[in-house]
Structure 1
Amino acid sequence: MIAALLPAPLLVPLLSGVLLAAAAPAVADPHAAILGTWHNPKNSVAVKTGRCGDKLCGWVIRATEKAKADVTSKGYPPLLGTALLRDYRATGTSRWSGQIYVPDMGRAFGSTVTMVDADTLNVKGCLIGGFICKSQIWRRD
């Protein structure tokens, strides 16, 4: 039907554009590289990252007995299932910003996560508008 309405010189570029658009890859998922299970430097906690709406979150899926006891002895909720990484959004190539929850303090802080390589994250949390910060290197399980 369209071919009957358009002259041949216009039809070829139009069809080529439609075919190219159909073959183009979908927009890349900004969280794909970071999805998986990660553990902290002491291997006392493992966090599984995943999508939470259009953002990235990470939940505790494994913890040592000592780590669990440290949190419950201070009156905070059980460690397993707790979202440590909250509402992170991509802020650059291999970089996300959000809130990190520190279970034994019962507080969340501003944070950035940067992928150093495919199996290494630099997780940084800051107090007082970024003046006091602490970083940890997390490894992929």
Structure 2
Amino acid sequence: MNPVLAACTAVALSQAVTSAPESFLLGTWANPEHSLEVRIARCGATLCGMVATASAEEIADARDSGSPGLVGMMLLRHYRADGPGHWSGNVFVPDIGRELSSHIVALDKDHVRVSGCLMGRFLCKSQVWQRA
């Protein structure tokens, strides 16, 4: 590929992702193992995400941690855009039975990095989710 064309394409894609509107997150996203899918929708003035499908192992792990009924559970809560291609809210982690502060960053048109953090934006664990 022509180097100038490659550079222009990279800049255009970067601008599209970093200026991603709130609607960018709407739809269904899968975790890295494709063992869990979360459907993100509007919930009043914010965005939220509910478990659409989960593997038997994910369901058992959640149940063993005191979170029965994984499918249909609201995992992502109160997300708002707080910068270009960046959203903040709360994530409920069924494996530990806790709600954590969270942020989501658009990586490209089909991938986001979802982070759950113990303290603000510190002590975070992240996963890259793919559009399902």
Class of the TM-score when normalised by the shorter of the 2 chains = 0.7 to 0.9
Unpaired runs of at least 5, structure 1? 1-28
Match for 2:45: what amino acid?
D
Residue in structure 2 matched with residue 84 of structure 1 by the alignment: 75
Residue of structure 2 aligned with 1:71, choices 44, 62, 72: 62
Match status 1:39 vs 2:30: yes
Matching of residues 19-58 of structure 1 within 5 Å? 30-58=21-49
Identity %: 47
TM-score, scaled relative to structure 1: 0.76
Match for 1:68: what amino acid?
I
Distance in 2 between residues matched to 1:59 and 1:42, nearest whole Å: 17
CA RMSD of aligned residues (A): 1.4
Match for 2:77: what amino acid?
R
**More contact order relative to length (CA 8 Å, sep ≥ 6):** 2
Residue in structure 2 matched with residue 109 of structure 1 by the alignment: 100
Unpaired runs of at least 5, structure 2? 1-19
| Deviates most, 71-80 or 111-120 | 71-80
Distance in 2 between residues matched to 1:75 and 1:133, nearest whole Å: 22
* Deviant stretches of 4+, over 6 Å: none
Distance in 2 between residues matched to 1:31 and 1:131, nearest whole Å: 24
Deviation at 1:128, TM superposition (A): 2.8
Residue of structure 1 aligned with 2:89, choices 85, 98, 110: 98
Higher strand residue share = 2
Distance in 2 between residues matched to 1:54 and 1:71, nearest whole Å: 29
TM-score, scaled relative to structure 2: 0.81
Residue of structure 2 aligned with 1:62, choices 53, 57, 61: 53
Deviation at 1:125, TM superposition (A): 1.1
Residue deviations 1:99-125 (CA, integer Å, cap 9, x gap):
011011111101100111110001111
**Number of residue equivalences:** 113
Q: Does the 8 A contact of 2:65 with 2:94 survive in 1?
A: no
| SS in structure 1 at match of 2:58 | helix
Distance in 2 between residues matched to 1:36 and 1:106, nearest whole Å: 25
